[in-house]
């Protein structure tokens, strides 16, 4: 259900951006792309560092799994780190592509109708990337909360166990 709502939001945001994109100059869009690159690089770095710290533990959990559920849980946990990194990498690549096109196309003389459509498509694309970035940040935030809650549960269990002995 959450994915369906997200898809509807994405389609609405993309349609809205396409309709009004011709009013947003390419230089203003370039600024949005620059911000997206910065945020994506930070997300990629943080999740990559976190994954590298937990890599050995996740591999051990997968190798020593006593059930299919245990092995699946280890894979699911690793996906929580890899998915935001993947989205971030895609955003960085798309932003680099836009930046390249921005500077190359400045020297071309295009018809005003073509420029209008290019702005609309470009703004729709940057809106979709921004939506994906927000989705990624939410996933990062919730994976951090989930990790902290799991750690808290383990800590409480251990404290209870220590108090009994």
Q: What is the predicted pLDDT for the residue at 82?
A: 86
- DSSP class of residue 64 equals T
Per-residue pLDDT tens for 21-43? 888 888 898 999 999 999 999 99
Q: Is it the case that residue 66 has pLDDT exceeding 90?
A: no
Q: Is it the case that residue 12 has pLDDT exceeding 80?
A: yes
Alpha carbon of 132 to those of 14, 44, 77, 87, 110: distances in Å? Answer: 11, 14, 20, 7, 30
Residue 133 tokens, joined: 């970035």
Alpha carbon of 73 to those of 30, 70, 76, 79, 150: distances in Å? Answer: 40, 5, 5, 10, 13
Q: Is it the case that residue 132 has pLDDT exceeding 80?
A: yes
Instruction: Compute the distance between CA of residue 158 and CA of residue 154 in angstroms, rounded to an integer.
Output: 6
* 41-66: burial string, b at 16+ Cβ within 10 Å, e else: eebbebbeebbeebeeebeebbeeee
Instruction: Compute the distance between CA of residue 43 and CA of residue 144 in angstroms, rounded to an integer.
Output: 12
* pTM of the complete model: 0.76
Q: Is it the case that residue 145 has pLDDT exceeding 80?
A: no
Of 128, 30, 40, nearest to 88 by C-alpha is 40
Per-residue pLDDT tens for 93-122? 999 999 998 888 877 787 878 888 888 888
């Amino acid at each position: 259900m959450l994915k369906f709502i997200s898809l509807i939001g994405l389609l609405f945001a993309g349609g809205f951006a396409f309709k009004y994109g011709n009013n947003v100059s390419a230089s203003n869009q370039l600024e949005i792309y620059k911000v997206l690159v910065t945020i994506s690089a930070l997300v990629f770095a943080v999740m990559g560092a976190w994954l590298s710290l937990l890599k050995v533990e996740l591999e051990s959990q997968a190798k020593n799994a006593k059930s299919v559920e245990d092995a699946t849980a280890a894979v699911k946990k690793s996906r929580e780190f890899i998915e935001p990194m993947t989205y971030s990498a895609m955003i960085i690549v798309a932003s680099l592509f836009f930046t390249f096109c921005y500077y190359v196309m400045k020297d071309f003389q295009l018809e005003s109708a073509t420029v209008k459509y290019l702005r609309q498509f470009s703004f729709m694309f940057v809106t979709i990337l921004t939506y994906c970035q927000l989705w990624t940040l939410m996933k990062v935030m919730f994976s951090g909360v989930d990790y902290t809650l799991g750690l808290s549960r383990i800590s409480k269990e251990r404290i209870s166990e220590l108090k009994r002995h």
